[in-house]
Amino acid sequence: MELLHSTVFNSMVGRLFLAASQKGLVALEFDCRLPGQQTIRPNPRDVRKENATNEKRKFSFETSPAKTQPYVRELEEYFAGGRREFGVALDLRGTDFQIACWRALLKIPYGETRTYADIARAVGKPNAFRAVGLANNRNPIAIVVPCHRVIASDGTLCGYGGGLDVKRKLLELEGALSGTLAA
């Protein structure tokens, strides 16, 4: 069983759960998740499901503020408006297509947005915008892998694991809201 170092961080968008392996950040999740939303950790709201799920997990967690401090520090700087790019190592885990999508998200500059169709073209699958949406939905490292920077083709906000209010706050923080996004 793999040991992941974890902590909970209070941010301007709520509590965030961080987990890191020896290679880098594995997960950055919103504490308040929607039912059925993918998570690396057990759902504390359903103990019976948590116990059944734990038996299938391939990792355990150790609360470790010292080992997660570099991630927390960069998040604090980001939320304070002083960090535009994250420098921490990432340990992306997913299918080849998901990882390609997540790497494309990492190329979206701070303060800018892209559409699902833009990301589909960036990964060489121009008609796979729905699959890109599913890959975004499965992004285990919110904020750092900036799926909040992806919007609908008509310029409106759509789908976000932390909720549209959180997506709006993150885009406001980055100065990316304008036109229909600000409406």
**Gap between the Cα atoms of 5 and 26, Å rounded:** 10
Q: In 129-151, which positions are buried (b, 16+ CB within 10 angstroms) versus exposed (e)?
A: bebbbebbebbbbbbbbbbbbbb
d(CA 9, CA 174): 20
Cα distances from 8 to residues 11, 25, 40, 179, in angstroms, run 10, 13, 14, 35
Alpha carbon separation from 19 to 1, 55, 105, 128 (Å, rounded):
15, 19, 20, 30
The active-site residue out of 32, 101, 147, 158 is 147
The neighbour count for residue 58, using CB atoms within 10 Å, is 6
Q: Catalytic residue at 147?
A: yes
Q: Residue 115 in contact with residue 121, Cβ under 8 Å?
A: no
2-11/59-63 β-pairing: parallel
Residues forming the active site: 147
